[in-house]
């Protein structure tokens, strides 16, 4: 029963507004094993963010079932960590206090939370900026603060919505390596939305391709790369090239069929 970490069964999401009805997702089925790293790619507006919000219970499904660890999702779930497309930091709190918001809301023991925060700050290279306010941080640093905040309570599921979209190519690569390491250390289940095919392949066990609106699962690619992935060598692997080409062809074909 409780075999899957995230289970999305035949789910349709329709947005109803005054002017139009938009079907964002249609009959999507997707299963994620515990500890798996799954990326979601697809054209803009195909419903990737919607899929994440659905998994966390921030959005209800119009049809179908969503389950987290076998439990039906109805209403916001707190056994997750969420990184939004924007960093969404509180302007009046320092980097450290923004990270600790997670602990305060959850009423975690202060000592344990502080230790964990220090560990994450160290790990993400934010040392020296603990007491800087968000507007004093670069876009990439803000995203790292948001990542620390999402990891503070060691969530069994981490949902990330284009967390590195605002970063330069180099920092992005560093963050990819970082995230891969964090994932290996923590063993959490990760659902990552990204526009970068290379990022998706480098990081994931599995890449789910979503077609343009209404979003449906256009295909799933298993990435058969070793668990230990050094950035440069991995990029040069034939399997890496094969997987990225496959995804690119698939998304391209879907776009051409429009």
Partner 1 sequence: MVTHTQSARTGQRERAGEASGIAERSRPGLGQRLGGFLERSWRPFALLAALFVAWWGVTAAELVEPYLVPSPGNTFDAIAARPEYFWEHTWTTTYETVLGFVIAIAVGVVAAVAMVQSSTLEKTLYPLLLFAQVIPKIAIAPLFVVWLGFGLGPKILVAVLMAFFPVVISMVTGLKSVDPEMLQLSSTMGAKSGQTFWKIRFPASLPHLFSGLKVAATMAVTGAVVGEFVGADAGLGFVILQANGNLDTPVLFAGLLIMSLLGVLLFVLVEWLEQLLLPWHASRRDEGASTTL
Ligand X SMILES: Nc1ncnc2c1ncn2[C@@H]1O[C@H](COP(=O)(O)OP(=O)(O)OP(=O)(O)O)[C@@H](O)[C@H]1O
Q: Give the binding site for ligand X (CB under 6 A).
A: 15, 17, 22, 24, 44-50, 213
Q: In this complex, which beta carbon is closest to Mg ion, that of residue 49 or of residue 194?
A: 49
Q: In this complex, which beta carbon is closest to partner 1, that of residue 76 or of residue 252?
A: 76
Instruction: Report if residue 122 touches partner 1, rule: CB under 8 A.
Output: no
Q: Which stretch binds partner 1 (CB under 8 A): 3-11, 79-87, 175-183, 192-200?
A: 79-87
Q: Which does 45 bind (CB under 5 to 8 A by kind): partner 1, Mg ion, ligand X, none?
A: ligand X
| Shortest Å, Cβ 25 to ligand X | 8
Phi, psi of 169 (to 5 degrees): -55, -40
Residues 84 and 64 sit within 8 Å (Cβ to Cβ): no
Instruction: Report if residue 109 touches partner 1, rule: CB under 8 A.
Output: no
Instruction: Report if residue 39 touches Mg ion, rule: CB under 5 A.
Output: no
Return the half-sphere exposure (C-beta side, CA atoms, 13 A cut-off) of residue 173.
8
Instruction: Report if residue 148 touches partner 1, rule: CB under 8 A.
Output: no
The 3-state DSSP class for residue 107 equals coil
Q: Which does 242 bind (CB under 5 to 8 A by kind): ligand X, partner 1, Mg ion, none?
A: none
Residue with tokens 């999401």, as numbered in its chain = 13
| Torsion sign across C-alpha atoms 198, 202, 208, 214 | negative
Distance in angstroms (rounded) separating the CA atoms of residues 169 and 171: 6
Q: Of residues 54, 73, 99, 102, which one binds partner 1 by CB under 8 A?
A: 102
Instruction: Please name the helix (run of DSSP H) or strand (run of DSSP E) that holds residue 203, with its range, or none.
Output: helix 197-203
Q: Which does 17 bind (CB under 5 to 8 A by kind): partner 1, ligand X, Mg ion, none?
A: ligand X
Instruction: Report if residue 139 touches partner 1, rule: CB under 8 A.
Output: no
Instruction: Report if residue 91 touches partner 1, rule: CB under 8 A.
Output: yes
Instruction: Report if residue 49 touches Mg ion, rule: CB under 5 A.
Output: yes
- What 3 state SS string does 6-63 have? EEEEEEEEEEECCCCEEEEEEEEEEEECCCCEEEEECCCCCCHHHHHHHHCCCCCCCE
């Amino acid at each position: 029963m409780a075999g899957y970490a995230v289970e999305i069964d035949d789910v349709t999401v329709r947005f109803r507004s005054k002017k139009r009805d938009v079907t964002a997702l249609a009959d999507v089925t997707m299963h994620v094993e515990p500890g798996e790293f799954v990326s979601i790619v697809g054209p803009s507006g195909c419903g990737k963010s919607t899929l994440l919000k659905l998994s966390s219970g921030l959005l209800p499904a119009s049809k179908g079932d969503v389950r987290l660890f076998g439990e039906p999702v109805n209403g916001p779930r707190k056994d997750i960590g969420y990184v939004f497309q924007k960093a969404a930091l509180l302007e009046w709190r320092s980097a450290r206090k923004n990270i600790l918001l997670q602990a305060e809301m959850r009423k975690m023991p202060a000592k344990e939370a502080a230790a964990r925060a220090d560990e994450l700050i160290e790990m993400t290279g934010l040392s020296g900026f603990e007491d800087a306010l968000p507007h004093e941080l670069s876009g990439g640093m803000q995203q790292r603060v948001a990542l620390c905040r999402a990891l503070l309570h060691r969530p069994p599921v981490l949902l990330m919505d284009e967390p590195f979209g605002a970063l330069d190519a180099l920092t992005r690569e560093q963050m990819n390596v970082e995230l891969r390491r964090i994932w290996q250390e923590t063993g959490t289940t990760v659902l990552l939305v990204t526009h970068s095919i290379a990022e998706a392949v480098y990081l994931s066990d599995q890449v789910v391709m979503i077609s343009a609106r209404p979003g449906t699962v256009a295909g799933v690619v298993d990435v058969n790369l070793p668990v230990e992935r050094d950035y440069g060598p991995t990029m040069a692997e034939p399997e890496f090239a094969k997987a990225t080409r496959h995804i690119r062809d698939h998304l391209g074909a879907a776009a051409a069929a429009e």
